Structure 1
Amino acid sequence: MKKIRNIIPLVAVALLGSCSALHQEYKSDLTVPSNLYGDQQEIVASTAQPSIATLSWRELFADPYLQRLIDTALVRNTDLAVTRLHVQQAEASLKAAKQAFLPSLTFNPNGGVNYFNKSTTGVYNVGLTAQWQADIFGSLKNKKRQSEAMLEQSRDIEQATQSQLVTGVAIAYYKLLLCKGQLDIMQQTKGLWEKQLVTQRALFENGRAYSTSVNQMQASLLGVEAQIADMQFEIQRAENAICILLCQPHTTIEHSSTVGRGHLLSSLNTSTLGSGLPIEMLANRPDVRAAQRAVEAAFYVKQQAKAAFYPNLTLSGTLGFTNSNGAVNPGKILLNALGELTAPIFARGQIKADYAISELKQEEAKQQFVSTMINAGMEVNEALMMYNSAASKDAIYIKQVAVLQDAYKGTQELMANGKATYIEVLTAQEALLSAQLDELSNLYQATQGLIALYQALGGGSL
């Protein structure tokens, strides 16, 4: 008996210690992999100046036509609407987890008839039953904390979807401007070549040119017309891409009247691009935050699995009116209270398996966080390389176009004086057209890189 009295305090202390551990809040022990930006380390140093990562999309995308498209997409897009429904579901789950601390109250009237020894007796019970679970080992508290983490995770996913939608509309819009700009160049080239073809035909009719030169000029003109048809198809595809994001049938997309160099990249706010992109900015990414929340939620699931090893205390009571199966007539007030303590002894290994699985799930969430961080750093690296590469080539393309314009004018003058052939003129025309199209494509690549960087750093303030 004395030994038992000595053991009881020890058991009580152990249970209290376990109780304290099971009520602990999550403390992050996640580590960020080093060298996330790869070879783009020159932009890692943090500065006091603002950065592109902190801009709202309205600050970055100043084009009013693009802003209207994004506003429409934010209202109509079904993928974003679904993520908002997920947030509402998570809010409902959290509300239920909070109310689990309250007692349950049920109203359960019942009645019947007993027939015995040629005697019929009415039987009835009218009562309220209350039940309350004492959260001694934190099972309910950890469930609530898990629900809180999952709610924040669903909100992060909503922001990630919104960021993808905003940048998706922007990329499709600038692709439309690119195609429009290239179409303008092709149509201008077509006009020049039509005039050239008229001139060549006049020279042929006057015996100053061969029919082959006329045919070659006409073939080149037909080639440009085919390119124009292809570009008109690409414009429709770009419009379709925008309409899909806006969840509407195909329609002509209104855009800025200024296309080409006058709008690609120059309409974006690039003033803060070079002010530094410290690693800490990756914390703005909603997918990074969601991965952190997943680890936190897994921790609380593990705490719940650990609590399953300990006893569960349930208090219940009934207050009502009964005739006690016909023994009391009229009926009397019934009042009872019950405390029930249940402790697992043998559950066929299920509790132990659930705890082992919860530990593995938490480790899996940690590995997913590391993977998310590496992918985030890689996206920043690729976006910077795309932008820097295109920006470095822009000046080269400008010089190349200027040189080829001079060459084209020069060959025209030489041919007019009989010092150059139509082949040289055609070659100069085709080289100029190709360079002008490449210049716009390169500017679009720079635009893509900047938008990709914006998204890779979290999509700014939405």
Structure 2
Amino acid sequence: MKIKQLSLILAVSVSTSVLTGCGIYNKYNAEKIDSDLVKEYAEALKQQDDSTAFGNLSWRSVFTDPALVDLIDRALANNKDLRNAKLNVDIAHAQLKGAKLSYLPSLTFAPGVNGAKYGHSDLSWNYQLPLAVNWEIDIFGKILNTKRGAQVAEMQTRYYEQAVRSQIIAGVAQCYYSIAALESQLKLSRETSELWKESVNVMRNLKEAGRLREDAVVQSLAQYYSIEATITDIELSLHEANNTLSLLVNEMPQKWTISPDATLNVPVMKRTAIPMAELAVRPDVRASEMTLASAFYSTASARAAFYPSLNITANGGFTDALGSAILNPHGWFLQLAGSLTAPIFARGQNIARLQAAKAQQQQALNNFEYAIMSASADISDAMTVYEKSMQKQQWLTLQVENLTKAVEVTNELLLFDGSTTYLEVLTAQKNLLGAQTAQITTNLAAAQSVINLYQNLGGGR
């Protein structure tokens, strides 16, 4: 008897070792993935998050403009994409609940009644009140891998929701500061247009007085028309930006109120090597990893299909139609059965599913590695735009200062010296307008680079 028990224990131990070696019971572990990049990523996940890192800051501490804060709150409450992302989390959570309950037996109740009449006999009624219990014993990990797959699927939807949330916050901020920049450009262009209109009238008077030629008046008038055309373009862009913002906050198209001093406090940041820890907190990267984990469990499930299924079935109940099998035909009955079903020949379906699962897992790994590298490129690009925008701001500030002086000097020379022409004054004003417009555009680029960097570092909590 002891020899039989020892043999049974040995057989179970060997079977468990074989199944574990086949990967049926293994949990997903990024450290064991055959990829140096993924292993580096797994090591970064072990590091404690730096709460002071730019990407870990609350969006309310990054965006402090009251009007912008209100718009972001509206978007987070009403945006349809974010609502759908939250519903995806609810769907995945419900599916996970179902997967967790798969370990329990199923219970069915199927009452029945029938009547029979033969010849001149009375109508005879028979009834049954049966209960059926079916329980699949998960000794080969089929249910286990389904449950684990549902768990990572739920985690993926949560990371995706966070990615959508981050995208919406960044999108609202981008639109807000774009509208602020366009309004500044529109104000500047309208002021310049009025100034140029007055200048055209002055030049016409000078021409009539014989102090100016016709070509100078025509050139000045053409520049005035160019400014008016630019105003039209800015108004169109402003209309489109307001509509985009309306979509983000899920409201009908309207003109949004922007704070008069709408400027983003651009922090001073220094370029460093992009640590993997910063990539590991990005929700889109984490979601891509969960896709890999899901593919891992799909492969394990495909392997488990080659092993037998063990089912225990029990039927019991009360009946009055048991016949002569028992002494009391009106009584209880009970049946208990166990079955072990092993696939022998499945027309190659199990092999095909396993091969497909392995290929899909490799695809998921490729996509995950690409997500990590793409995230690194996003951060590098945003950092470069930030640096170049800050440098350009310095040069444009100097340019605007000098062109402002140039306009003052040419005006003084025209009024008191006569050594310059009115056309030269207008040219100086034109150059100043171009520099001021470029300055507004560069300030917007600097703000947008900070917003992009915040999003690319996983910001939006």
Instruction: Compute the TM-score of the two structures, normalised by the length of structure 2.
Output: 0.88
Q: For residues 255 and 223 of structure 2, what CA distance do their matches in structure 1 show?
A: 30
Offset, 1:51: 2.5
Residue 168 of structure 1 aligns with an amino acid whose one-letter code is G
Alignment of 1:108 onto 2:110: yes
Native 8 Å contact 1:72 1:246 kept in 2: yes
Aligned to 1:370: 369
Native 8 Å contact 2:157 2:287 kept in 1: yes
Q: For residues 460 and 436 of structure 2, what CA distance do their matches in structure 1 show?
A: 36
Native 8 Å contact 1:408 1:429 kept in 2: yes
48 and 9 in structure 1: CA distance in 2 versus 1, 3 angstrom threshold: closer
Q: For residues 25 and 392 of structure 2, what CA distance do their matches in structure 1 show?
A: 59
Offset, 1:448: 1.7
When structure 1 is superposed on structure 2, of 9-18 and 68-77 the one drifting more is 9-18
Q: Kindly provide the CA deviation profile for residues 131-151 of structure 1, in whole angstroms up to 9, marking residues without a partner as x.
A: 111111111111111111110
Q: For residues 143 and 258 of structure 2, what CA distance do their matches in structure 1 show?
A: 55
Offset, 1:191: 3.2
Aligned to 2:77: 75
Aligned to 1:301: 298
Q: For residues 303 and 230 of structure 1, what CA distance do their matches in structure 2 show?
A: 58
Q: For residues 353 and 194 of structure 1, what CA distance do their matches in structure 2 show?
A: 77
Q: For residues 413 and 9 of structure 2, what CA distance do their matches in structure 1 show?
A: 109
216 and 235 in structure 1: CA distance in 2 versus 1, 3 angstrom threshold: same
Native 8 Å contact 2:165 2:460 kept in 1: no
Residue 301 of structure 1 aligns with an amino acid whose one-letter code is S
Aligned to 1:18: 18
Aligned to 2:161: 158
For 2:248, what is the secondary structure of its paired residue? helix
> 5 Å matches for 1:17-416?
17-21=17-21, 22-28=24-30, 29-30=32-33, 31=35, 33=37, 50-116=52-118, 119=121, 120-204=123-207, 206-210=209-213, 212-258=215-261, 263=263, 267-271=264-268, 277-324=274-321, 331-416=330-415
Q: For residues 276 and 213 of structure 1, what CA distance do their matches in structure 2 show?
A: 56
For 2:418, what is the secondary structure of its paired residue? coil
Native 8 Å contact 2:50 2:56 kept in 1: no
Native 8 Å contact 1:32 1:370 kept in 2: no
Q: For residues 150 and 332 of structure 1, what CA distance do their matches in structure 2 show?
A: 49
Aligned to 1:41: none
Q: For residues 348 and 218 of structure 2, what CA distance do their matches in structure 1 show?
A: 87
Aligned to 1:39: none
Q: For residues 397 and 350 of structure 2, what CA distance do their matches in structure 1 show?
A: 70
Point out where structure 2 has 5 or more consecutive residues left out of the alignment.
41-47
For 1:100, what is the secondary structure of its paired residue? helix
Q: Kindly provide the CA deviation profile for residues 326-375 of structure 1, in whole angstroms up to 9, marking residues without a partner as x.
A: 66886211122111111111111111221222211211111111111111
61 and 277 in structure 1: CA distance in 2 versus 1, 3 angstrom threshold: farther
Offset, 1:209: 3.9
10 and 48 in structure 1: CA distance in 2 versus 1, 3 angstrom threshold: closer
Residue 181 of structure 2 aligns with an amino acid whose one-letter code is L
Offset, 1:226: 2.5
Instruction: Compute the TM-score of the two structures, normalised by the length of structure 1.
Output: 0.88
Alignment of 1:422 onto 2:419: no
Point out where structure 1 has 5 or more consecutive residues left out of the alignment.
37-45
Paired residues in the alignment total 442
Native 8 Å contact 1:302 1:359 kept in 2: yes
Native 8 Å contact 2:396 2:435 kept in 1: yes
Q: For residues 449 and 165 of structure 2, what CA distance do their matches in structure 1 show?
A: 19
359 and 430 in structure 1: CA distance in 2 versus 1, 3 angstrom threshold: same
Offset, 1:277: 4.8
When structure 1 is superposed on structure 2, of 118-127 and 94-103 the one drifting more is 118-127
Offset, 1:415: 2.0
For 2:306, what is the secondary structure of its paired residue? coil
What is the percentage of aligned positions where both structures have the same residue? 34
Aligned to 1:431: 431
Alignment of 1:447 onto 2:447: yes
Q: Kindly provide the CA deviation profile for residues 392-412 of structure 1, in whole angstroms up to 9, marking residues without a partner as x.
A: 111110111111111111112
363 and 445 in structure 1: CA distance in 2 versus 1, 3 angstrom threshold: same
Residue 444 of structure 1 aligns with an amino acid whose one-letter code is L
Aligned to 1:40: none
Residue 238 of structure 2 aligns with an amino acid whose one-letter code is I
Offset, 1:95: 0.0
Q: For residues 271 and 346 of structure 2, what CA distance do their matches in structure 1 show?
A: 61
Offset, 1:88: 0.5
Offset, 1:69: 0.8
Task: Name the Cα RMSD after superposition.
Answer: 2.8
Residue 322 of structure 1 aligns with an amino acid whose one-letter code is T
Offset, 1:300: 1.3
Offset, 1:276: 7.3
Q: For residues 130 and 225 of structure 1, what CA distance do their matches in structure 2 show?
A: 82
Native 8 Å contact 2:393 2:439 kept in 1: yes
For 1:318, what is the secondary structure of its paired residue? strand
Offset, 1:33: 4.0
Native 8 Å contact 1:19 1:138 kept in 2: no
Offset, 1:252: 1.3
423 and 226 in structure 1: CA distance in 2 versus 1, 3 angstrom threshold: same
Offset, 1:207: 4.7
Offset, 1:254: 1.1
Q: For residues 351 and 344 of structure 1, what CA distance do their matches in structure 2 show?
A: 9
Residue 89 of structure 1 aligns with an amino acid whose one-letter code is I
Q: For residues 405 and 360 of structure 1, what CA distance do their matches in structure 2 show?
A: 65
Q: For residues 12 and 182 of structure 1, what CA distance do their matches in structure 2 show?
A: 78
